[in-house]
Structures are given as structure tokens and as C-alpha cells.
A and B are shown apart, each in its own frame.
Chain A
Amino acid sequence: ETGVTQTPRHLVMGMTNKKSLKCEQHLGHNAMYWYKQSAKKPLELMFVYNFKEQTENNSVPSRFSPECPNSSHLFLHLHTLQPEDSALYLCASSQDGLADYNEQFFGPGTRLTVL
């Protein structure tokens, strides 16, 4: 595997379900990100992790819970979601999230549908 991978690519869940999205980067980077991309809305940064520590939470509802066990893996745990949470969830990584120059590499995304 190369670059940034995300699983699953598609997920359909009910509002009472609990599921997790997984992201893995094979680039040796130290920063990882979760973004939400909804139809007709700009890309929304959700969470940022630098060296496994969360450095940004963009007022995300608590029904989204991130986890970063190491610099290569990032999870997004989902529970009691709402239909408006349906979106494409993108994971990204960069060499150093604290640097001014911050080129990010993106995964293919998980298309989430909440029924």
C-alpha cells in the first residue's frame, strides 16, 4: 500500500449504529487530519493530530470521536449520527502539521450515508 488509504470506501448506517472509519498513511508523516465534505459546502476541517496529539477540534459534535493510536493510523468513531452527517469523509496527512509549509496528502475518502 502506498500513500493514504481509507476503509471502508462506502458505509451505510442507521442513526442508532456505532461504526468506525479507518485511515492509514504510508508516508512517514507526523500529522493526520479528518475533513468532512458535504454537497454544496466547502471542505470542513474536523480534527488535527500532530505526533499523536490532538491539536485541533473544529467544534465537532461529540457523536464524532477521533482516535490516533500512532502517527500512521487515525480512526473516526461514529455513534448516534444524524442524516445531515451523510457526507464524504476525507483523511489527510502531512509531514509536520505545525510547520508553516503544510502540503497535505489525501486518501480516497469514505462515503457515509446515514439513514
Chain B
Amino acid sequence: AQSVTQLGSHVSVSEGALVLLRCNYSSSVPPYLFWYVQYPNQGLQLLLKYTSAATLVKGINGFEAEFKKSETSFHLTKPSAHMRDAAEYFCAVSDQGSQGNLIFGKGTKLSVKP
């Protein structure tokens, strides 16, 4: 069965600094991977997705993620943080053993300091 681990429940960066949110997955088959963002009191919004095409995936709001099979990782990055990036970020894998249901990580809350 697939699983997702997000390292660090809380990450704090300064405005303009690099953002790196870590996600590792386990899967016995080529995975489909997603990053979602949740702003306070809102639902989840898709940031980007990996569907076995390019390993470097670009998403909205300047975020990107790189699929590394050898490291079973799908880390999310953004070169320069902005105050509006403060939110909670969830990594998810499509559970191909359970009708494709998404398996979510526990989330990483990103704080951005001025």
C-alpha cells in the first residue's frame, strides 16, 4: 500500500528566502503525486501534480516539485517566499490499491516572516 511522509509539521522562513517542504512516499507501482495548499478556513487547492511525464513539475504561485524515484521523494520548492505563501501544504499519493483514493500526509504549516 502507498503512504506519504511529510518531514516537519511546521516550517518557518523569511520573506524572500527559499521554501523547501519535504515529502517522501512509498509505492510499489509508479505513483501519481500531488501537492495541495490550504489557506486558513478554506478547502484544499491543487498546487501541482506528477503524472509520470516530466520529473520537474511546475505549479501555480511559483511553486515546483521534482520527482526523484531513487530517493522516493517529491519535495516542494519555491525560490523566494512571499507573505501570501503562509498556509498549510499537503502532499498526497494516489492509492492504486484502493480505487485511486488519495492518501494525504499530515501537512506542513509554512510561516513566512517579514
A106 and B45 contact, CB distance less than 8 A: yes
Most buried by B among A6, A42, A97: A42
* B114 at interface by CB-CB < 8 Å: no
A107 and B43 contact, CB distance less than 8 A: yes
B106 and A42 contact, CB distance less than 8 A: yes
B99 and A56 contact, CB distance less than 8 A: yes
Total inter-chain residue pairs, C-beta < 8 Å: 62
Which chain A residues border B51 with CB–CB below 8 Å? 101
Residue on B with the closest CB to A43? Answer: B104
Which chain B residues border A109 with CB–CB below 8 Å? 41-43
Chain A interfacial residues counted at CB < 8 A: 28
Residue on A with the closest CB to B4? Answer: A42
A102 and B101 contact, CB distance less than 8 A: yes
B46 and A105 contact, CB distance less than 8 A: yes
B46 and A56 contact, CB distance less than 8 A: no
Bound state CA distance, A90 and B88, in angstroms?
A: 15
Q: Which of B41, B45, B49, B96 contacts A100 (CB 8 A)?
A: B96
Which chain A residues border B107 with CB–CB below 8 Å? 42-43
Contact residues of A with B, CB < 8 Å?
Answer: 4, 6, 42-43, 45, 48, 50, 55-56, 88, 90, 92, 94, 96-109, 111
Contact residues of B with A, CB < 8 Å?
Answer: 32, 34, 36, 41-46, 49, 51, 90, 94, 96, 98-102, 104-107
**Extra A-B contacts (4), CB below 8 Å, given A94-B100, A111-B41:** A42-B105, A48-B101, A101-B32, A101-B51
A-B contacts, 10 listed (Cβ < 8 Å) = A42-B105, A55-B99, A90-B44, A98-B99, A99-B100, A101-B32, A101-B51, A101-B100, A102-B94, A109-B42
